[in-house]
């Protein structure tokens, strides 16, 4: 990290440590630093920054907007790269997507709708994981999607999503 990135990373750490103290909104330069770190790290080293981004999005609408609109978090990976991510990185990425759904009814609705097929791909291709935390997070993401849409399935992707949820519920070994 250069000096500017280090200063912004330090702000990021302060923001995260003050979450329970009702801290002020995080600035865009700090969010850009987190995005820069994510893009600069090799895939086998991204788990910690994904976890930081997850926390930022969970506690800051500004961060959610930034990582969906400005630095589209979904551009970070693709179906091909998804298969190569570690279980931990997949888990954090799915949790990021779950946290984004906290804001999806507002300003992010269209941005998420434009990426829905890719989001569903990640969830469906993880829901049958033998790692219960991955399977449950994928099912939570699919439930978030279903709840945000609350309409009769109009596409194959939506029908696949509902089928995957039903399959997960029906497989008792995954839930136990």
Q: What is the pLDDT of residue 172?
A: 43
Burial 31-46 (b: 16+ CB within 10 A, else e): bbbbbbbbeeeeeeeb
In this prediction, the residues of the chain whose per-residue pLDDT falls under 70 are 1, 19-25, 104-107, 150-154, 158-159, 162-163, 165-176
The pTM is what?
0.75
């Amino acid at each position: 990290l250069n000096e500017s990135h280090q200063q912004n990373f330090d702000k990021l750490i302060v923001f995260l440590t003050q979450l329970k103290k009702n801290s002020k909104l995080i600035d865009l330069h700090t969010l850009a630093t987190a995005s820069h770190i994510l893009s600069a790290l090799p895939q086998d080293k991204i788990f910690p920054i994904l976890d930081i981004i997850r926390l930022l999005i969970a506690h800051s609408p500004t961060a959610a907007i930034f990582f969906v609109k400005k630095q589209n978090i979904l551009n970070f990976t693709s179906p091909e790269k998804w298969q190569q991510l570690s279980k931990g990185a997949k888990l954090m990425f799915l949790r990021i997507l779950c946290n984004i759904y906290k804001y999806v009814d507002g300003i992010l609705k269209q941005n998420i709708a434009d990426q829905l097929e890719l989001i569903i791909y990640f969830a469906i291709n993880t829901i049958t994981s033998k790692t219960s935390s991955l399977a449950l997070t994928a099912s939570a993401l699919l439930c978030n999607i279903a709840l945000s849409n609350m309409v009769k399935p109009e596409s194959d992707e939506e029908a696949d999503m509902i089928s995957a949820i039903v399959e997960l519920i029906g497989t008792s070994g995954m839930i136990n």
